[in-house]
Structure 1
Amino acid sequence: MPGFPSPTIHTGPESDSGGVRPLSTQWLSDEWIAEARRFLSKAYGRVVSQDEAVEILMSFRRLTEVFLSGEEET
């Protein structure tokens, strides 16, 4: 059903996508994601899932790319 996860997928706070990540996230090492989860969990005061950490890291990368492209234009 669109918009709802498959019933076989665990979606709790310890959710872990497991397996191979999409190519767009291959630059993220497992160690980097684990470190981000530790940092973000402490900052947010709750357990941050692997999927959340990956999403936050991807957003941070996009933001950084925007800033760097702006520097190149000036």
Structure 2
Amino acid sequence: MIMRRFQEPGDVEKAFELVHKSRGLEQTQFLAKQHCQEAVRLANLLHESPYQKGLIVAADYVLNRMK
């Protein structure tokens, strides 16, 4: 489906069903949270600066942005 760019009828619906059944969205959110927590941990090792704060804000934004 991906290789043919979801051009066949029903491809999008089938992909949605597969992602839902595999709990793909939940797993993606879990991994994103872990990566952002690690990013914040590493950013906190940097000297305090506007750039360091920007990295922390960016990690928070990734997790909490409105879709």
Same fold (TM over 0.5): no
TM-score of the superposition, structure 1-length normalised? Answer: 0.36
- Of Structure 1 and Structure 2, which has the larger fraction of its residues in helix? 2
TM-score of the superposition, structure 2-length normalised? Answer: 0.40
With CA pairs under 8 Å and 6+ residues apart, which has the higher RCO, 1 or 2? 1
For the pair shown, the structure with the greater C-alpha radius of gyration is: 2
